[in-house]
């Protein structure tokens, strides 16, 4: 039994027992995961001749765990699947001095190349060399970037309401990675675009294991806090054949491990409004109190008198908790005091409401009090507050509370010289009681509970110096529970406020019906909620073999996804809109008179999707010359469609009658029905795509030129040219399948349009009028009501794929600098998107209000079909200049100039209001300019005086600066003036009638729009746009404004950190630190209102938080 819902789902204990049992049986012959990397190179003498038979040892400096290798006949050596960390290599050969190369940094998924030159001498003679930490990459053409714990230590990382995570901040340090929301991403990476990709095309791994929510294509769990991570890597383009699943990019994180010495920390972070500045629209500094605390410890496992784990067995444990109490600004334009009484006389005569009975204006623009609906009065008095900030604005700070706990545990054990084990467990639990900033009544909350378990098991087996096998086993379980709570509206039966014609489906979520008044901020919500329990598992095995100049690698992988979800019912939902052909031309007046534009009601449902997927690959890194590597690979992905355990799925086949459910409307078929296209309706709705072969090609070349401008460009072995190309298949957006369960007869969602309500004499108190009211419904009877909406897949639906390509030039520069210049692009095909199949014919008598009656299939409602007709293209120039930590200075700066185009930026149009989703235009994820630089500097410490050194030494400053173009704004209007009903959501295009003029939203100003004064903080002049109006079908048309033409607010962000370290003893240290976000308290504005003709059009309603200061104290040992 769960916290929010009276249902008991089967738990995952059986799955967990089976998973652990399989791991135990598999452990002796299997190996570990892909969060590791390879250490490669060639052994030569001082004349450049290859040396065969040299003995090499790579030692992890922290754990003292060593691996051995021998150079082959070409002098090549390779250490495969080493954990990320700091290493040293020792090379021995008879007749040559022993060479030790230190300070080699190996990063997650990024191979390192270390050439070794042996000099004549005795083996007992040792020469020690420090590795260059900024070497070019000559091993492959993959575009990838790693952010290490050392970088994170010096950069400002802020605790959020649910703890600290790298996904909401540090991922955007990587070139080509940008947020698809105005200010950033959330802790699950739902707003991350990699090189123009859809956010749903990014794959998330933890310790090489699958960490994806297969329904919403986001991270299943937030990654551990930065103190628990060794580093994380973002692979952005042309990755090798051993990576796949998603066509956008891969983000992988690795947890810290224990070492031979006990080490750890205790830490505390504080954010308090006393140190903060207010946001632009906040009347005062809002309450924001975050307390984050935790600690970690790692070292060898020691059992007194039983076991000593030094050099063999190490552990690491980290805990972090966050407690947050904050205020959020509720800032909405509601209903003015005059409008509450029916007085619209302040509007120009042409905009005053008309009497729906006479179709003439109300005298003086005033609705008689006797005409105002009693139900509307109840809503006004109970749930809609009066303005407290100007004519119609209501503003108040509301409290929110968040609680978060997370644990990270890792064990590493070296069983023998040939076998090692590693296991990681990550757990997080977050609960939120969040005051809604959009829903009424004031004080409504959105209560959420999330719980995640990640378990990753790894084993490595070395068959020989040339052959290594690796295995990853992964189990992830994640639960989400969510519920709206509306004080004064929950638990109230509709009849208690005069609504006699609405019968709630159940009493589980009892409340008054939801009310939305278009063009205002009025949105009264009750009912609903979800509870989901998801489990994913993964087994992956890889075999690596080196043969001469060929590094071969083969592998296979199986993944599974198990999902149980409960969707709560609502209590009915009314919408009032100025587009209602039977209303007053004014949405507020329609509300007062009780004339709904639509009414809907749904039952909720329980769904049980399942899926398995299989991946296979083979690859060869061929090195025909010491300075040339060619990466060849082929990957095959077999991903059968999601299937519901109860087969809750339908398809659309015009003219066909279902044999399984004969009572279904004509054209709706179900699993097992004869299908004129596919033979039999498959359980997934469409056939599995079995043609997903993905070739990969990469070339990495480091020319050794002696003369000319090319030598100056690429240097003598200090530059590299890399070319990558490949085919990458995407994961079909899981929610495109799970939404099947929202359709009849599995979940009945009945909608009455304005013309149906009007014809039946319906109104606010009883929208059904003379129509039969079937609610509440018995879903076991497989009922069909009204005009059912379908959400089918096209029978020819296929897996989307992307061509990725890049040309990258790397060049080592003086002062430990590394310059990268790159062209990076991709071209995507068969992207899934929605298209309306049941459009309306346009002819005499056609109006906005009778779309349903004019549909091609009038007995059915909207049919947004998922089809593989999406296209996208992305081209970019990317420049990066980096300096790794050296002599106290580090920086990493990048600039990306990019262009993204598509004919649909989201798998579901209904999730994003698009004026014309099928027009080839700028992608909704497009940001033209992106400049990001991160930097840290250790201030010089005086050496002459120990006292001064303690005071003035140990200071470090750091920061992150971001300048980004704004995301495109998709401006629309209420009502589909094409009269076709082809745009899901019923929005249309306005006309562009003048030059687009940006305004400064810091200035509160009054603008006359269509003859009426409007006041607010405008981002643009609304007079550049004009709402399209039509008198009859002969004037039906779309507006002249295209899709995503103008940019919204950009990002200008500065954050900084300053810290002081004080050494208490040789291995003990105290650190005082201050991190500052929005350093200059710059106003970062949100997206303005984008619906032309409404009171909020062009106005900015919110801004990012003002300057926040985070104080922290850390003890490290």
The pLDDT, as a whole number, for residue 971 is 92
Share of the chain above pLDDT 70, in %: 93
At 932-966, the pLDDT tens digits run 999 999 998 877 777 777 778 889 999 999 999 99
Residue-level pLDDT at 528: 75
Cα–Cα distance measured from residue 1012 to residue 999, given in angstroms and rounded to the nearest whole number = 19
What is the three-class DSSP state of 734? coil
- This prediction has a pTM of 0.85
Mean pLDDT across 1010-1030: 92
- pLDDT recorded at residue 884: 79
Question: Does the pLDDT of residue 4 top 60, yes or no?
Answer: no
Give the CA count within 13 Å in the CB-facing half-sphere of 608.
Answer: 5
Return the structure tokens found at 237: 């383009």
Range of the domain at 45: 37-135
Asked if the model's pLDDT at residue 1086 lies above 60, the reply is yes
pLDDT > 70? residue 18: no
Cα–Cα distance measured from residue 784 to residue 861, given in angstroms and rounded to the nearest whole number = 12
Cα gap 242→617, rounded to integer Å:
6
Amino acid 16: pLDDT = 41
Q: Name every residue whose Cβ is closer than 8 Å to that of residue 644 and which is 6 or more positions away in sequence.
A: 607, 608, 609, 610, 683, 740, 741
User: Per-residue pLDDT for 29 more than 50?
Assistant: no
Residue 124: pLDDT band with limits 50, 70, 90: low
Residue 871 in domain: no
Whether 137 shows a pLDDT value over 80: the answer reads no
Q: For residues 126 and 1094, which has the higher predicted lDDT (pLDDT)?
A: 1094
Q: What is the mean pLDDT of residues 193-222?
A: 91
> Over the stretch 384-433, which tens digit does the pLDDT of each residue have?
999 998 898 999 989 999 999 999 999 999 999 899 999 999 999 999 99
pLDDT confidence bin for 917, thresholds 50/70/90:
low
Could you give the CA distance from residue 110 to residue 235 in angstroms, rounded to a whole number? 9
Identify whether the C-beta of residue 1043 lies closer than 8 Å to the C-beta of residue 917. Answer: yes
Is pLDDT larger for residue 82 or for residue 1107? Answer: 1107
Which pLDDT value is given to residue 1098? 95
Give CA separation, 199 vs 212, 327, 744, in Å.
Answer: 12, 29, 30
Structure tokens at 893: 């700066």
Predicted confidence (pLDDT) at residue 1 exceeds the cutoff of 50: no
In a domain, residue 1010? The reply is no
| Average pLDDT score over the chain | 88
pLDDT of 131 reads 64
- Does residue 712 have a pLDDT over 90? no
Which residue has tokens 């150079």?
A: 71
* Contact between 174 and 147 (Cβ < 8 Å): yes
Instruction: Kindly report the length of the chain.
Output: 1117
Round to whole Å and give the CA distance between 799 and 694: 12
Residues 293-303: what's their mean pLDDT? 95
**Inside any domain, residue 102:** yes
Q: 133 pLDDT exceeds 80?
A: no
Q: Does any domain span residue 68?
A: yes
- Rounded to whole angstroms, the Cα distance separating 872 from 825 reads 11
**DSSP letters along 469-522, please?**
EEEEEEEEEEEEEEEEE-TTTBT--GGGGT--S---S-STT-BPPEEEETTSS-
What is the pLDDT averaged over residues 1-21?
40
Token couple for 1010: 């269509």
Residue 266: count other Cβ atoms within 10 Å of its Cβ: 14
- 394 domain residue, yes or no: no
* Residue 1091 is assigned to a structural domain of this protein: no
Which three-class secondary structure string do you get for 741-768?
A: HHCCCCCCEEEEEHHHHHHCCCCCCCCC
Q: How many helices (H) and strands (E) does the chain have?
A: 9, 65
Cα–Cα distance between 286 and 502 in angstroms, integer?
40
Residue 879 covered by a domain: no
Instruction: Please report where in the chains the tokens 């004019």 appear, as a residue.
Output: 854
For 118-181, the DSSP string reads E-BS-TT-EEEEEPPTT----S---EEEEEEHHHHHHS----BTTB--STTTGGGGSTTEEESS
Residue 707 confidence (pLDDT): 66
How many whole angstroms from its chain centre is CA 309? 40
CATH code: domain of residue 100 = 2.60.40.1120
pLDDT for 558-597, tens place per residue?
999 999 888 777 889 999 999 898 999 999 999 999 999 9
pLDDT of residue 30: 33
Q: For residues 826 and 803, is the Cβ–Cβ distance under 8 A? A: yes
The pLDDT tens digits for 857-880 are 999 988 989 999 999 999 999 999
Of the candidates 1048, 1046, 1093, 1044, which has an alpha carbon nearest to the alpha carbon of residue 914? 1044
Confidence band for 134, pLDDT divided at 50, 70 and 90: low
pLDDT at 120: 83
pLDDT at 377: 96
Residue-by-residue DSSP string for 1067-1102: TEEEEEEEEEESTT----B-PPB-EETSTTBTB---
Q: What is the pLDDT of residue 123?
A: 64
C-alpha closest to that of 86 among 154, 148, 174: 148
Q: Which of 260, 398, 228 is nearest to 330 (CA)?
A: 398
CA distance 422 to 35: 12
320-341 pLDDT, tens per residue? 999 999 888 888 999 999 999 9
In which band, very low, low, confident or very high, does the pLDDT at 985 lie, cut at 50, 70 and 90? Answer: low
Assess whether pLDDT exceeds 50 at residue 7: no
Domain count, the chain: 1
pLDDT at 570: 82
Structural domain includes residue 165: no
Question: Is 650 buried (19+), middle (13-18) or exposed (0-12) by CB count in 10 A?
Answer: buried
Distances (CA, A) of 879 to 818, 892, 932, 1113: 11, 11, 11, 36
Q: What is the pLDDT of residues 1052-1082, one digit of tens each?
A: 999 999 999 998 888 899 999 999 999 999 9
Closest CA to 601 of 486, 738, 491, 501: 501
Residues 309-324: tens digit of each pLDDT: 888 999 999 999 999 9
CB within 8 Å of 781: residues ≥ 6 apart: none
């Amino acid at each position: 039994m769960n916290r929010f819902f009276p249902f008991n789902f089967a738990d995952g204990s059986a799955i967990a027992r089976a998973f652990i049992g399989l791991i135990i049986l598999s452990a002796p012959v299997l190996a570990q995961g892909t969060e590791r990397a390879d250490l490669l190179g060639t052994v030569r003498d001082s004349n450049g001749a290859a040396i065969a038979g040299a003995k090499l040892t790579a030692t992890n400096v922290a754990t003292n765990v060593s691996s051995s290798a021998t150079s082959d006949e070409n002098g090549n050596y390779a250490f495969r699947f080493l954990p990320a960390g700091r290493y040293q290599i020792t090379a021995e050969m008879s007749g040559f001095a022993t060479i030790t190369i230190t300070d080699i940094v190996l990063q997650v998924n990024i191979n390192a190349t270390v050439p070794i030159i042996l000099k004549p001498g005795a083996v007992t003679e040792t020469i020690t060399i420090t590795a260059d930490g900024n070497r070019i990459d000559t091993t492959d053409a993959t575009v990838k970037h790693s952010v290490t714990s050392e970088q994170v230590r010096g950069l400002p990382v802020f605790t959020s309401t649910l703890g600290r995570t790298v996904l909401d901040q540090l991922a955007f340090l990587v070139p080509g990675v940008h947020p698809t929301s105005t200010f950033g991403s959330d802790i699950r990476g739902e707003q991350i675009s990699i090189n123009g990709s859809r956010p749903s095309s990014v794959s998330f791994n933890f310790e090489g294991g699958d960490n994806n929510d297969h329904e919403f294509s986001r991270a299943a769990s937030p990654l551990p806090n930065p103190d628990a991570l060794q580093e994380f890597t973002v692979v952005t383009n042309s990755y090798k054949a051993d990576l796949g699943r998603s066509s956008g990019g891969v983000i992988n994180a690795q947890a810290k491990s224990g070492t031979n010495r006990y080490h750890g920390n205790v830490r505390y972070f504080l954010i308090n409004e006393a140190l903060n500045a207010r946001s632009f629209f906040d009347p005062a500094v809002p309450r924001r109190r975050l307390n984050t605390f935790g600690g970690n410890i790692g070292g060898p496992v020691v059992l007194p008198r039983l076991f000593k784990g030094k050099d063999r067995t190490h552990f690491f444990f980290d805990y972090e908790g966050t407690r947050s109490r904050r205020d959020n600004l509720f800032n909405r334009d509601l209903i003015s005091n005059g409008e509450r009484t029916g007085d619209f006389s302040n509007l120009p005569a042409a905009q005053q409401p008309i009497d729906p009975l006479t179709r003439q204006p109300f005298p003086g623009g005033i609705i008689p009090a006797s005409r105002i609906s009693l139900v509307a009065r109840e809503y006004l008095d109970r749930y809609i507050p009066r303005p407290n900030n100007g004519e119609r604005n209501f503003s108040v700070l509301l409290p929110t509370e968040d609680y978060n706990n997370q644990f990270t545990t890792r064990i590493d054990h070296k069983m023998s010289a040939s076998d090692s084990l590693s296991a990681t467990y990550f757990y997080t639990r977050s609960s939120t009681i969040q005051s809604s900033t959009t829903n009424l009544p004031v004080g409504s909350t959105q209560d959420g509970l999330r719980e995640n378990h990640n378990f990753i098991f790894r084993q490595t087996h070395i068959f020989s110096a040339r052959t290594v096998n690796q295995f990853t086993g992964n189990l992830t379980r994640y639960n989400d529970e969510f519920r709206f709570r509306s004080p004064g509206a929950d638990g109230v039966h509709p009849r208690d406020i005069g609504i006699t014609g609405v019968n709630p489906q159940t009493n589980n979520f009892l409340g008054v019906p939801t009310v939305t008044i278009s063009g205002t901020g009025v949105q009264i919500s009750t009912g609903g909620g979800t509870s989901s329990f998801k489990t994913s598992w993964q087994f992956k095995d890889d075999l690596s073999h080196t043969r001469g100049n060929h590094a071969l690698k083969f592998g296979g992988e199986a993944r599974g996804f198990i999902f149980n979800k409960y969707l709560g019912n609502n209590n009915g939902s009314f919408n009032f809109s100025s587009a209602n052909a039977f209303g007053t031309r004014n949405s507020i007046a329609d509300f007062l008179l009780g004339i709904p534009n639509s009414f809907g009601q749904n039952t909720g449902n329980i769904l049980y999707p399942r899926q398995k997927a299989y991946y296979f690959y083979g690859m060869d890194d061929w090195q025909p010359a010491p300075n040339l590597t060619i990466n060849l690979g082929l990957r095959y992905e077999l991903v059968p469609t999601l299937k519901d355990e109860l087969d809750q799925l339908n398809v659309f086949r015009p003219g066909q009658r279902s044999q399984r459910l004969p009572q279904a409307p004509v054209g709706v078929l179900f699993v097992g029905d004869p299908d004129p296209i596919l033979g039999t309706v498959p359980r997934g709705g469409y056939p599995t795509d079995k043609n997903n072969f993905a070739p990969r090609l990469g070339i990495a070349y480091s020319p050794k030129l002696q003369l000319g401008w090319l030598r100056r460009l690429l240097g003598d072995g200090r530059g590299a040219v890399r070319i990558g190309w490949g085919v990458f298949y995407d994961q079909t957006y899981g929610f495109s399948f799970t939404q099947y369960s929202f359709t009849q007869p599995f979940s009945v969602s009945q909608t009455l349009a304005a013309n149906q309500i009007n014809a039946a004499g319906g109104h606010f108190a009883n929208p059904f009028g003379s129509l039969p009211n079937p609610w509440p419904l018995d879903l076991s009877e497989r009922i069909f009501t009204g005009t059912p909406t379908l959400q089918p897949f096209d029978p020819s639906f296929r897996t989307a794929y992307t061509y990725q390509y890049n040309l990258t030039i790397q060049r080592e520069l003086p002062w430990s600098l590394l310059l990268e210049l790159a062209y990076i692009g991709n071209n995507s095909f068969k992207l899934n998107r929605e298209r309306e199949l049941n459009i309306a014919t346009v002819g005499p008598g056609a109006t906005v209000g009778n779309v349903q009656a004019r549909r091609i299939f009038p007995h059915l409602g909207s049919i947004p079909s998922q089809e593989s007709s999406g296209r996208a293209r992305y081209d970019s120039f990317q420049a990066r200049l980096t300096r790794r930590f050296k002599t106290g200075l580090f920086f990493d700066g990048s600039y990306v100039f990019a262009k993204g185009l598509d004919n649909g930026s989201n798998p579901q149009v209904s999730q994003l209001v698009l004026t014309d989703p099928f027009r080839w235009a700028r992608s909704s994820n497009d940001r033209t300019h992106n400049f990001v630089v991160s930097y840290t500097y250790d201030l010089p410490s005086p050496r002459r005086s120990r006292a001064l050194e303690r005071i003035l030494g140990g200071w470090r400053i750091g920061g992150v600066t971001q300048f980004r173009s704004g995301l495109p704004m998709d401006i629309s209007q209420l009502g589909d003036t094409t009269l076709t009903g082809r745009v899901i959501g019923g929005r249309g295009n306005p006309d562009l009638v003048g030059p687009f003029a940006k305004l400064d939203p810091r200035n509160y100003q009054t603008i006359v729009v269509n003859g009426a004064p409007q006041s607010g903080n405008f981002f643009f002049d609304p007079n550049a746009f004009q709402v399209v109006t039509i008198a009859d079908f002969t004037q039906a048309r779309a507006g002249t404004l295209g899709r995503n033409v103008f940019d919204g607010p950009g990002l200008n962000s500065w954050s900084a950190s300053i810290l002081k370290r004080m050494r208490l003893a040789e291995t003990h240290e105290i650190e005082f630190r201050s991190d500052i976000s929005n350093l200059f308290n710059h106003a970062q504005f949100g997206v303005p209102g984008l619906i032309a003709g409404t009171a909020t059009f062009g106005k900015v309603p919110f801004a990012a938080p003002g300057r926040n200061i985070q104080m922290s104290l850390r003890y490290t040992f």
